[in-house]
């Protein structure tokens, strides 16, 4: 089993659900407490052992590039003023040359197309995909949990996908895996197919895909066909399904931790509340304040 060194982070979306906040800034730069959404995904990837991050960007995304670059004037000012903690916080967003690569998705043709745009940087290796909209609060990074399972597989190549159980009426919002059989651990299963956004009556299960994937390189071969699927877009799920038909072992895995969909207003607000309450500095003071707000609302 080849080691996973590279991760693709699609960040070309317009973020129209958050207008006007995203009129002049990328939605990925909206902050969950004190870190942009994109930084949560980046830190998860690096903490899981990923060596190279491939950002698939679009127009108006230069703030992301600036965020992960050196800010010489700011760093010099903080150093001169002796603000060591603030300086360390800023320096934590700087990475060695070559750690981050940027490719451009000129048209919004779907998640599969975004991943395909990164094909030349991916090369012939298996790779991870992280959708920054999904952030997971837990003790161990979600991607690290997937890699732990992946590294224990016997197959020469495989797909491993983070999943969660959803209510049947929610399947139309997700890719859904068709389960072949559950494993003895009770948190992983082998899949025999995957369907993009099926209606509840057509869904093969309630195991919905969220934004964490480890993919065999053969998926790129199917994306090369540039075939449109659900919603008229080039779907990553269709390429994964084709690789399953080619015999690539594909597993779903229930990751520990709570997922927040920061692509929706509700999920974004909930993420801020959860991460703030989990913060050792501001959390203790927020709990009674939030309780007071809820009590006022009830009254």
Q: How confident is the model at residue 60 (pLDDT cuts 50, 70, 90)?
A: confident
The tally of domains found in the chain comes to 1
What confidence score (pLDDT) does residue 145 get? 96
Of 213, 197, 201, 137, the residue nearest 168 (C-alpha): 201
pTM as predicted: 0.92
* 218: containing domain: 6-263
Pairing of strands 35-36, 31-32: antiparallel
218 touches 127 (CB < 8 A): no
As a whole number of angstroms, the distance between CA 260 and CA 290 comes to 19
270 located within any domain = no
Sign of CA dihedral 95, 98, 104, 109: negative
Average pLDDT, stretch 236-254? 96
What CATH number corresponds to the domain at position 135? 3.90.550.10
What confidence score (pLDDT) does residue 1 get? 62
The percent helix, strand, coil of the chain (3-state, each to 5) is 40, 25, 35
pLDDT in tens, 224-236: 998 888 888 899 9
Share of the chain above pLDDT 90, in %: 86
As a whole number of angstroms, the distance between CA 299 and CA 296 comes to 5
Query: Beta-carbon neighbour count of residue 128 at 10 Å?
Result: 25
Structure tokens, 103: 């490719």
DSSP H helices, the chain, are 37-47, 62-67, 72-80, 84-91, 111-117, 119-122, 142-150, 218-223, 236-245, 265-278, 283-298
Of 129, 133, 100, the residue nearest 114 (C-alpha): 129
279 located within any domain = no
pLDDT of residue 99 exceeding 70, the answer is yes
163 touches 274 (CB < 8 A): no
Residue with tokens 């982070």, as numbered in its chain: 9
280 located within any domain = no
238 located within any domain = yes
269 located within any domain = no
As a whole number of angstroms, the distance between CA 195 and CA 174 comes to 9
Average pLDDT, stretch 20-44? 94
115 located within any domain = yes
pLDDT of residue 59 exceeding 80, the answer is yes
293 located within any domain = no
282 located within any domain = no
């Amino acid at each position: 089993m080849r080691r996973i060194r590279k991760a693709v982070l699609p960040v070309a979306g317009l973020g129209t659900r958050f207008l006007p906040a995203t009129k002049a800034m990328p939605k990925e730069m909206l902050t969950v407490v004190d870190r942009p959404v994109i930084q949560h995904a980046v830190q998860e990837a690096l903490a899981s052992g990923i060596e190279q991050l491939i950002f698939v960007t679009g127009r108006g995304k230069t703030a992301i590039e600036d965020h992960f670059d050196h800010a010489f004037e700011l760093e010099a000012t903080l150093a001169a003023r002796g603000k060591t903690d603030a300086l360390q916080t800023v320096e934590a967003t700087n990475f060695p040359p070559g750690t981050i690569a940027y490719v451009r998705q000129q048209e919004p043709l779907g998640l599969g197309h975004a991943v395909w745009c990164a094909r030349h940087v991916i090369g012939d290796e298996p790779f991870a995909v992280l959708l920054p909209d999904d952030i997971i609060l837990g003790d161990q990074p979600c991607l690290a949990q997937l890699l732990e399972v992946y590294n224990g597989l016997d197959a020469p190549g495989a797909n491993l996908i983070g999943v969660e159980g959803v209510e049947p009426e929610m399947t139309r919002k997700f890719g859904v895996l068709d389960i072949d059989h559950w494993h003895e651990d009770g948190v992983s299963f082998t899949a025999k197919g995957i369907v993009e956004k099926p209606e509840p009556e057509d869904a093969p299960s309630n195991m919905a895909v969220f934004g964490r994937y480890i993919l065999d390189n053969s998926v790129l071969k199917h994306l090369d066909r540039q075939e449109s699927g659900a919603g008229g877009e080039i779907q990553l799920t269709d390429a994964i399904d084709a690789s399953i038909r080619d015999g690539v072992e594909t597993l779903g895995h229930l990751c520990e931790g709570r997922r927040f969909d920061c692509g929706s207003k509700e999920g974004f607000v909930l993420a801020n509340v959860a991460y703030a309450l989990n913060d050792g500095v501001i959390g203790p003071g927020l709990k009674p304040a939030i309780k007071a707000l809820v009590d006022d609302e009830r009254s």
